[in-house]
Structure 1
Amino acid sequence: MTIHRTFTRSNEMQSRLHELIPGGAHTYARGPDQYPEYMAPVLVGGSGAHVWDVDGNSFVEYGMGLRSVTLGHGYRPVVDAVVSTIADGTNFSRPTALELVAAEEFLELVSGADMVKFAKNGSDTTTAAVRLARAATGRDVLAVCHQPFFSVDDWFIACTPMNAGIPAEHAQRIVRFEYNNLDSLERVLTAHSVAGVVLEAATATAEPAPGFLEGVRRLCDKHGSLLIFDEMITGFRWSQRGAQSVYGVQPDLSCWGKAMGNGFPIAALAGRREYMELGGIRTGEKRVFLLSTTHGPETGALAAFRAVVRAYADEDPIGRMEEAGRALADGVNAAAENLELKGYVQVIGRPSCLLFVTRGPDLQQSQEYRTLFLQEILSRGVLAQSFVTSAAHTESDIDHTVDAVSAALEVYRHAIESGSTAGYLSGRPVAPALRARAAPRRIDYT
């Protein structure tokens, strides 16, 4: 596979981005430190599962829109619905009829919820759920599962390495428990007066053990804690009805976003009426400032959501994601095995939410070898921090990716055999997005 790609204009624009935007991107996961040095493409557009950059390079893309784009870039039914709707205005001083219809359609999907409030990002909804749980129970402590991410707000970021500027008492109100470990949850619920239990019902690499989610529900009921499911990734990727429908366990509150609008900004907090009404004006209790957003009900995103719902009803996007994912995992894992790299490079996870694992000569996960892998597949037209598929990935896209990976693994094998990425990796390795300091990918002023 011949390589004819340069990143000259992307590098120039990335330098300018650093002058104007802290970190050079509006999301830490999109930052250039998450990509091989001097190989972070600045994009100009996309169609289906393909994107292109300012240098004229095209890529098959995975994890599109940080998992928010499941139907493909520029999916016409969504685009057309948005365009026709916003021609009549986007934001008004009173609710629109569209808000009512969208709420009805959402609650038809989420059978365990009685009420919904729309927002623009998932962090706002998880924080609203936390606030609601604390108000409903009169307690402050939260039991939060050891899972990667729940919110940009202080209650969660206080528990990460990137906690500068956050009062220490926020972290003191969080207790952690292990996924698939009911004993660890029971210990924290017994030791603390917990307002809410926050977790993803499943992740890319972790399915609930038999009885686990049922046990979580039972423990919440026993201890008077609200159960909060984060459905950001599982919603519209496991099922349009969420992981709660797949596993048959209903939370008190659930938080949604990402794929709800196929990339358009929309999120939702859904829950039982007795709790949600605390944020309304039909309660005699002290009111909760639940969600109040200028742009939460803007018409474009609500139209996108309704078009996504129709697409999921008329087509089978999850089936197509899973079919593409199985083909990709099989192809990449077979290529690794053929090159005797089975223990070094693996594709793992749910077929609709795949990750790749990269290990060094000691068979430990390695940022250096991950960066080498990213470098080589980028050079061959694949843009992927993960191998999360969409319904737009075609058989040809999967074939191209497997071919690119196969060629990349030839280089990877040489680096493994030599015991080092020296001579193979250009620039510094990628670094964790949430870290205390800019090093090891600090950029000096020029």
Structure 2
Amino acid sequence: MTPPVAPDASPEQFPLPPGRSGLPVLGETLAYLRSSRAFTEARRQQYGNVFRTQLFGSPAVLLLGPEAVQWIFAGEGKYLTNRWTPGVRKLLGARCLSLIEGSEHLERRRLLAPHFSYATMRQFVPAIESLARRHFERWAAQPGDFTLWEGMRGLAFEIALTLIFGQDSADTSLLLHHFQRWTKGLFSPLTVDLPFTTFGKAMASKKVMLDYLERVVSERQKLAEQPPDLLGSLLNTRDDAGQPLARELIIDELQLLLFAGHDTTVTATSNLMLQLAQHPDVLQRGREAVASVEEPLSLDGLRSVPYVAQLIHEGMRLIPPIGGAFRTTTKDVVFQGFRIPKGWVVPVSITSAHAGPEWPNPNQFDPNRFAPNQPEQKKAGMYLPFGGGPRICLGQHFAMVEMSVMLVLLLKHYTWELTPGQDLTYTRIPFPRPKSGIQLRMRPLASATP
């Protein structure tokens, strides 16, 4: 029970939330990393929806429930600021959208948002479909099992390159090799830039990627007319003074787009395929839903099958591609009668929001939650796979269109079976994936045995 405090009292007069700090320096970080969901739920039962702890060397307060999530997102630039790990800050471009703050962040989003609208995605559907068909045919032609995660990474990366560079011939193998080394460094706990460390290799790969992007942008700037791809859009963008974006800024944004347009899509689509393999009744309903979709695919055709979106949304609710994010208080604030001091960490727990008591049977895979006549997912703060507030993912429409194209093709033309005996235990850092990488055998649907 929170002690009564006058409504007009200063933050210093309010109590700290209940909780504990754990071990010196480490705090409760290890328990949180083992399973943020189990960690959060155990403390919710003990302390309620507001409690303190110590994570990653800093005091932290976890705020649970839809109202808390909305309060966190509303605090951007007012009483909370974005917080990234040292590895992310060193490896992402310093001027990219994710790292800038305040009015600069809002202005950059205003400039970039038109290029990521849902209507803009119409032009990319044919390219996504062509690439997905080619990869799926190759997977199905393999005589034995294959690792879905690796196959999906190659497909998603090639789609991201096509979105950014259009029909220009990018060196896919070179970029994918260095991209994978670079992303490993983003979440490395040891940010020591030495040649033999994960982080050092990531820094070296960052240089190779930036040099490559520098050459591509330099060549594209020489064109009198830009092709209709994202790089062309960035090169055509003008600020309020009529000036183009600086080349360094464009390169930073391209690097961010490669990251944002890849791993989350790989995670969401691969985990959804696993869920469908484990729920044949849902899989069959999906097949029936897409049976009448005309090909080649179109944006209107995808929109005509709401069950496809239901499958994707429920997959991301059950296993969020990104489990959470972190904010830091910029001043002493009060939430639900408790003081949160300046400089404390405030995690945004997407995993907890998607499994909170507001969801009936949250551990069950049930796409009907997202049927048009179901209101439960409509409440703000309950479902946030793309984040929320001023930092909601700019590429969410592209991600939904990309996953929809893949899913329609898979449901209409292929069947897949999980390899028996594989380890489907999940690791959660940096993205939730089964330890086996999902071993499966895929075949054209027409050749599948009854």
> What TM-score, normalized by structure 2, do the two folds share?
0.24
Which protein is richer in helix relative to its size?
Answer: 2
